[in-house]
Structures are given as structure tokens and as C-alpha cells.
Amino acid sequence: MTKKDITEEVFFGSERFIRWRDDDGAIPRGTVQLPDGRLLYGYPRIGRILHLAQGLAAHFGQDPFWAEEKVDGYNVRVIRWREKLLAFTRGGFPCPYTTDRVHHWLSAAPFHENPELVLCLEVAGPETPYADASPPFVHEDAQPFAFDAMRIGAPGFVPRKDFYALCERFGIPTVQRLGCFCAADVDRLYAILARYEQEGREGIVFKNEMGTRMVKYTPAATSLRDLAVGAPDLAELPAEYFTNRLLRLALALAETGKAPEAYAEALGKALLLPLSEEIQAFLRTGKLKRTRCCRTHTKRAALDLLRHLRRVAHGRHIRKISLVRGQDGLWHLTFAHEPASLSGLLHHLFSGGAILD
């Protein structure tokens, strides 16, 4: 793969950026070259451990590590650019939606004091343009949760203690911080995960002080929720999406000694019910039941978001349903995001067509 294949131009207004579509040696996917030549490094993928006690011991040994809640949303990096805050998605695209909202979510003060600051946020809630799932503690709209800080032009992370101090000083909302642990504290972590499972939270991320070692772990219920979210995309997603989560579920049950029979009915419902609802919606309307809602401060940001989504649609039809100003003063955008191949398959099948299997 040549450098031309790995990178591409992306624009935000008249500003031109270069994003990395794939890893390129020490430059990870999602890295962005700013117009002044500096690099905004991509956020690395975090490995998943499937056995908590053994995984923590293998990755951290006897060294201490920090534990933080893994929030179910989408990942962005925020910088100060041309005197304004600008947000980039995990893939390296300037995000019209997050850029519009972040000015009201965060103070610009930490970026004025630290011009190279890169704040990593998980944006979560029932009304985001990217995520199908939402944490139980965000009941409407969307909220930001900081989980890391980086510096423009430098790979790696701000040390945890400095990151925590930054967030406390400037009132930056963060993911839930659980404290410092070591591998011998696994029983305390199991207790937290049991509570998280009951509360519908996604899981925990573990990091050493410098962020050079990071892993994540999710309980059994998270795998069920993932399967339910993915079930309507059964014809779209790779088989590994489902087999990996089934494996996670089985291993989590084996690790905690829970009876698989207690989860079998929930597993069937997670796979069958969302897919059945999608098919029923298609039979009623001729369209898939795929809508998302989000709010922006300006009408232009909502329209820019639609253009962005159509560009990165990955085989989906993006169709505006409504854009109206709400009583909260924000623009409420509702749009459909229908996978073209699944829609075409259902049209074919319900018209009497045949498939080879």
C-alpha cells in the first residue's frame, strides 16, 4: 500500500487536512496532519482481555494501574485550531456535530493555557449521530466524558495524575474514575463489574500511569447488548462480530461461574427480537427501522453533518427526515441511515425472489 493509498484529503470549511486511513509505521490510523504540518496522532486501539485475573497479571504484573469506566459512545479528539475548538473522529474526520456542540460542553480555558492540548472525549447519549447504544445514565441528548489527554505533535498520553488534575482544575467532565489498583485487587474489581452489569454500564478500561499499557474488560451483559445492537445488521456485519461476542459471553460466564442456562433465553431475545422488529417495520413501511436523532446549535451544523455522514456512509442511505428548532433553542435533526444491501435484499425476498445458501 502506497502513502497515497494510506492518506487522503479532508476539509472543514476551507481548511485542508490530511488523514491517515490506515496504520503507517509509527503513525496510527486516524492521525491527522494539520494545515501547519503538525500531526494530531490517532488514538490507539485498546486490547481486550477475556479473563480478568489472568489478563491483568499478564499486562501489568505487580505494577499499579488506574481503572476507569468504559462508556458506550463514540471517540473524538478536541484541539484548539484558529482560536476555536475543533473535534476529529476516531477515523480522522473533522466532525461538524461535535465541533458545534463542544463549544457549549467545554471551556476553552485549558486549551488557551495549553495550546498543544488534545482532549480525548467519549460522547454518549441516546441522541448522537454515530452510536446506536447509550449508557443508562444519559437520559436525553448527548454528553461528553473526557478519558485521556494528548499533545499535538507528540505520540503518547499526558500522565494520568496530570490528566486528572487538569480535569479537576477546569471542571472537565470525565468518565467514572475508579481509582488505582493492582492485579491482586481482582476481587474488588469483580465486585465493581457485578454492579456495572446490574446498572447496564459497559465495562472498565485499565491503564498504567503513562498510558503505555492499556486493556479493557466487559462483563457478560455487555456482550448481550452488543449482540442486540448488531442483530438488525445480521446481513451487513462480518460473522466475527457475532462469534467474538458469543465467545466473550461464554468466557465471561465460565470465569464468574454463572450458569449459561440463565442467559440462554436472553441470548435468543437479543438476536431475534431486534431483527424481527426491523423486518416488521419493513413490511409496514417498505423501509428499515433506522433513524437517529441529534441536536445542534446551528442549522448549518446539522446540514454539514448530513453531508459528512453521506461521505462516510459505507453503503448506507442517509436521508433527512426532519430538521426543526426545538423549545430548547437547538436544531433537532432526525435522519434515516438504512443499509442499502439489507434493504435491497428484503425488497428482493418480499417480492418473491430466491437466494442461494
Angstrom CA distances, 83 to 103, 104, 282, stand at: 12, 15, 47
- 345: exposed, middle or buried (C-beta count within 10 Å: 0-12, 13-18, 19+)? middle
Domain assignment of residue 250, given as a range:
220-285
**Residue 3's pLDDT is what?**
58
Q: What is the pLDDT of residues 47-90, one digit of tens each?
A: 999 999 999 999 999 999 999 999 999 999 999 999 999 999 99
Q: What is the mean pLDDT of the chain?
A: 94
Domain membership flag for residue 274: yes
Mean pLDDT (whole number) for 203-225? 97
**281 in the same domain as 232:** yes
CA distance 243 to 249: 10
In the predicted model, is pLDDT for residue 316 greater than 60?
A: yes
Is the residue at 260 inside a domain? yes
Contacts of 25 (CB under 8 A, 6+ apart): none
Distance between alpha carbon 286 and the CA centroid of its chain, in Å? 30
In a domain? residue 206: no
Mean pLDDT, rounded, for 7-27: 95
| Per-residue pLDDT tens over the stretch 85-135 | 999 999 999 999 999 999 999 999 999 999 999 999 999 999 999 988 899
pLDDT at 170: 97
Q: What is the pLDDT of residues 122-152, one digit of tens each?
A: 999 999 999 888 999 999 999 999 999 999 9
- What total of structural domains would you count in the chain? 2
Q: Which residues pair with 261 in a beta bridge?
A: none
| Per-residue pLDDT, 29 | 97
DSSP secondary structure string for all residues of 59-80: HHTTS-EEEEEE-SSEEEEEEE
Tell me the average pLDDT across 160-186.
98
**For 13-39, what is the mean pLDDT?**
96
The confidence score (pLDDT) of residue 289 equals 76
The reported pLDDT for the residue numbered 2 is 56
User: Which of 285, 312, 332 is where one domain is finished?
Assistant: 285
- CA distances to 220, 244, 268, 292 from 224, rounded to whole Å, are 7, 12, 10, 22
Give the CATH number for residue 335: 3.30.70.2160
281/296 same-domain check: no
Distance CA 218, CA 13 (A): 39
User: How far is the C-alpha of 273 from the C-alpha of 266, rounded, in Å?
Assistant: 10
Residue 32, classed as helix, strand or coil, is: strand
Give per-residue pLDDT as tens, 215-272. 999 999 999 999 999 998 887 889 999 999 999 999 999 998 999 998 999 999 999 9
The whole-number pLDDT of residue 58 equals 98
Q: Is residue 30 part of a domain?
A: no
CATH of the domain at 264: 1.20.58.2250
Question: Taking a C-beta distance cutoff of 8 angstroms, is the pair 75, 90 a contact?
Answer: yes
Residues 205 and 216: beta-carbon distance below 8 Å: yes
The verdict on pTM exceeding 0.75 is yes
The pLDDT tens digits for 4-15 are 689 999 999 999
* Dihedral sign (CA 151, 156, 159, 165): positive
The answer to whether residues 280 and 300 belong to one domain is: no
Q: Does residue 45 lie in a domain region?
A: no
Taking 90 as the threshold, does the pLDDT of residue 160 lie above it? yes
With a cut of 60, say whether residue 1 has pLDDT above it: no
Return the pLDDT at 340: 78
Neighbours of 245 (CB within 10 A): 21
Residues 252 and 305 in one domain: no
Give the strand order in the sheet containing 32-33: 7-12, 15-20, 32-33, 39-40
Confidence of residue 315 (pLDDT cuts 50, 70, 90): confident
Helix segments in the chain, DSSP class H: 3-6, 52-60, 96-105, 109-113, 160-170, 186-199, 220-230, 239-256, 261-285, 299-311, 340-350
